[in-house]
Amino acid sequence: MEFKHICVVGLGYIGLPTAATFASSGIRVTGVDNNLEVIKSLLNGKVHIFEPGLQEIVTKVLKSGMMQFSEKPVEADAFIISVPTPFYGEKKADLRFVRSAAEAILPVLNKGNLVILESTSPPLTTRDVVLPILEKSGLKAGKDFKLAYSPERVLPGQILRELVENARVIGGIDEISAKAGKDLYSVFVKGEIILTDATTSEMVKIMENTYRDVNIAIANEFSRLADRFGVDVWEAIEIANRHPRVKILQPGPGVGGHCISVDPWFLVEAAPDLTKLIHTARVVNDTQPELVVKSIERILNGVKSKKITLLGLAYKPDVDDLRESPAVEIAIHLTKIGADVYAFEPYKTNFNLDGVKMSQSMEEAISDCECLILLVKHTQFLAMDPVIISKMTPAKNVFDTVNGWNRKAWEESGFKYFKLGDGKSNPE
């Protein structure tokens, strides 16, 4: 199948890089978003999200005329739906954006078109949600238009490279739809392209993130046990991982982002009777921020009215993505129990969080506080020199939740150093 023009609906962390990659590969692209501020920003050549290399590629394809932007879908050969699928209430999948995107495509859907859902979705979403909406056009899926599901499988900070290099799974409602999806993504994908059915493709994406979530949960439980038994969990993990068939992941303040912290709930919602392990892992990781707060309370002998600086609010290092971030949960919790909370997030200094004083620089963040909390392994935080920091802050306590700092260096600079999961040194 040949594609001269495609329409990408949703210009967020995945949609915009995908649209720009197609455009730079020679296919004319119309990017669609219902957020007028996003459209205005992009029309002015300014990218609204941080992703290395994205600004440059968007500038290039805009200048070449290969990409344009619109508030509504336009006629095209193929449509890619890349909108958020958050959860609501009791961890239920919110498919309103998916439904809205499918409804928006209806007026411009024509015979021969291909529609691909990229948004991470519960199994059967393509077949039971998207397909019936698109068939309101009077066209029949499989016969008049092709329909497939192909999830993104990329790492923030590496999106542009991994879109091209990673393996891609494409699940069609029929074989012809899957093959059409392969024709489309073959334009730029260098990794293996695996074809299957739509529901299997949906399941694969959720399985990948659920697998990681469960493995992080056991690492977080190990950190809790280490505190109980007087063990340094980081040392224990390093030793255990020398076994040729063991690879324990790293504990931390929790699990965030729009994938690992969300996707497992889709399976729990769909089959609560079959997902006891998955549910338990989610509870462990979702309660990790509360455990961090309790540790801070122990370190400071209570936090009420005490000035605490949080270093990092993103859900992972060196990105500006704060969705479902455990660091944000920690900040909110600390304010609720009376702490005077300052935060510095270098990739999103304009972020607003009720009750939290956002700093514009490291110097401002640490100039008047009693404790420094390392929550994210941003490169600039790992490079902090405790000798220099000691001259910039009155704080005497540091709490490292990600094993990013050297205990000896901080202690020699006059700080009391505490680390998540270090039962050898942490207070009872």
Question: Taking the CA atoms of the chain, what radius of gyration do you get in angstroms?
Answer: 23
Q: Are 237 and 222 in contact (CB under 8 A)?
A: yes
288-419 matches 5-205 in CATH topology = yes
For residue 254, how far is the Cα from the chain centroid?
13
Query: Measured on CA atoms in the order 386, 391, 392, 398, is the torsion positive or negative?
Result: positive
pTM of the model: 0.89
Burial class, 382, CB count within 10 angstroms (exposed 0-12 / middle 13-18 / buried 19+): middle
Long-range contacts of 273-280 (CB under 8 A, 24+ apart): 277/214, 278/210, 278/213, 278/214, 280/217
Dist. CA 341–CA 420, nearest whole Å: 20
- Cα–Cα distance measured from residue 72 to residue 80, given in angstroms and rounded to the nearest whole number: 13
Of 7, 259, 369, 371, catalytic: 259
- The terminus-to-terminus CA distance of the chain in angstroms comes to 65
Work out the burial of residue 428: count CB atoms within 10 Å of its CB; fewer than 13 is exposed, 13-18 middle, 19 or more buried: exposed
Superfamily in which the 288-419 domain is placed by CATH: NAD(P)-binding Rossmann-like Domain (3.40.50.720)
Whether the CB-CB separation of 315 and 327 falls below 8 Å is answered with yes
d(CA 159, CA 13): 9
The Cα–Cα gap between 154 and 160 comes to 9
| Distance from C-alpha of 170 to C-alpha of 117, rounded to nearest angstrom | 10
Whether 148 contacts 114, CB under 8 Å: yes
* pLDDT for the residue numbered 36: 93
The whole-number pLDDT of residue 209 equals 94
CB 164, CB 189: distance < 8 Å: yes
Known catalytic residue at 259? yes
Alpha-carbon distances of 155 from 92, 165, 210, 256, rounded to whole Å: 24, 12, 15, 13
For residue 245, how many other CB atoms are within 10 A of its CB?
A: 4
Structural tokens at position 285: 């990781």
- In words, the CATH class of domain 5-205 is alpha beta
Which pLDDT score, from 0 to 100, does residue 428 have?
52
Query: 116: phi > 0 → left, psi -120 to 50 → alpha, else beta; which?
Result: beta
Residues 120/263, Cβ–Cβ less than 8 Å: yes
CA distance 57 to 408: 44
Catalytic option among 205, 306, 316, 419: 205
Contact 403, 238 (CB under 8 A): no
Residue 345, helix vs strand vs coil: coil
Burial 396-417 (b: 16+ CB within 10 A, else e): ebbbbbbbbbebeebeebebeb
C-alpha angle with apex 133: 130 to 135, nearest 5 degrees?
A: 110
- Provide the pLDDT for residue 35: 94
Residue 371 appears among annotated catalytic residues: no
Domain residues of the chain, as ranges?
5-205, 288-419
The predicted pLDDT at position 426 comes to 61
| Tens of pLDDT, residue by residue, the chain (428 residues) | 899 999 999 999 999 999 999 999 999 999 999 999 999 999 998 999 889 999 999 999 999 999 999 999 999 999 999 999 988 877 888 999 999 999 999 999 999 999 999 999 999 999 999 999 999 999 999 999 999 999 988 888 899 999 999 999 999 999 999 999 999 999 999 999 999 999 999 999 999 999 999 999 999 999 999 999 999 999 999 999 999 999 999 999 999 988 899 999 999 999 999 999 999 999 999 999 999 999 999 999 999 999 999 999 999 999 998 999 999 999 999 999 999 999 999 999 989 999 999 999 999 999 999 999 999 999 999 999 999 999 999 999 999 999 999 999 999 999 999 999 999 876 55
